[in-house]
Amino acid sequence: MAKIPTGKKVNRACQECGGDLVVRQNRKTKQHFLGCIRYPQCQYTEPLPEDLKMKAMGAKRLPGF
């Protein structure tokens, strides 16, 4: 399984402050998510969308489609 690169900017803006969102990883659960680059001033997060997860892992498209 390919590793998802953390710290990579994605083409989305933070819904709270307008900053860029980057891929981050939870230290305890090792789950990836999107977080605002302006952390700790802005603590906005959202789940990593499946399409971004697959793209980050190098998949050209979702399996089975």
Q: Domain-by-domain residue ranges, the chain? A: 9-56
Give the pair of three-digit tokens for residue 58.
């190098």
pLDDT digits (tens, 9 = 90+) for 9-23: 888 899 999 999 999
Stated pTM of the model: 0.75
Give the pLDDT band (50/70/90) at residue 63: low
The phi, psi pair for 35, rounded to 5°, reads -135, 155
| CATH (residue range 9-56) | 2.20.25
